[in-house]
Homo-oligomer: A and B are copies of this chain.
Amino acid sequence: MAKHEAVTDLEGAMLGLLARGGPMTGYAISRAFAASPSAFWSGSSGAIYPLTRRLLERKLIAGKATANGKREATEYDLTATGRAAFRAWLLDADRAADMGFDPLRTRLFFLHLASPAQRAQFLEAVEDKTAELSSDEAQASEPPEDRPINRAWLRHRLAWIKGLKARS
């Protein structure tokens, strides 16, 4: 698995979208990121279109003109090289085990600097908003395949928050 095939997490996720539901237009990829409940990747056109160009240059994806009804568009799909790069990214347990960026965890390191009342109010608000993310309305915009994964993640996060409240 050559180093020159290594992809970033955004690239890996984009290749994953194509592996799972491709071929897709740049616009569809953009919408998929924007629909994610995480605000971490905006899925803006300023991120997606330059990225598709780079992946085309590296021959990890290939474009094909299509006439979707009346509207013309370019749909992208994985090449064989792209599929290999995606698998290497997907099964990279070292990177998967990293703690990543968690805006709640980051704040907890400093939460003892706030008053007990502020802490309680904060945890209560975070718990409410987290519970909201599990609601059917919030999940309606997510792809059905993603929902159980996010649900399980949120369930464990709520358990964590409950523990924090009990110990605070």
Contact = CB atoms under 8 A, between A and B. Distances in A.
Interface string A147-167: 001101100110110011000
A59 interface: no
A110 B107 CA distance: 30
Interface of A, secondary structure class, is helix
Interface in A83-103: 86-87, 89-91, 93-103
Interface in A118-138: 118, 121-122, 125-126, 129-130, 133
Nearest to A131: B97
Given A20-B113, A93-B126, A110-B20, A99 B149 contact: no
The count of identical subunits is: 2
A89 B103 CA distance: 10
A97 B126 contact: yes
Given A105-B153, A159-B156, A160-B153, A40 B91 contact: no
Interface residues of A, number: 58
| Those 6 A-B pairs whose CB atoms lie nearest each other, nearest first | A93-B125, A97-B129, A16-B110, A38-B99, A40-B101, A156-B160
Interface of A: 9, 12-13, 16, 19-20, 37-41, 86-87, 89-91, 93-114, 118, 121-122, 125-126, 129-130, 133, 145-146, 149-150, 152-153, 156-157, 159-160, 163-164
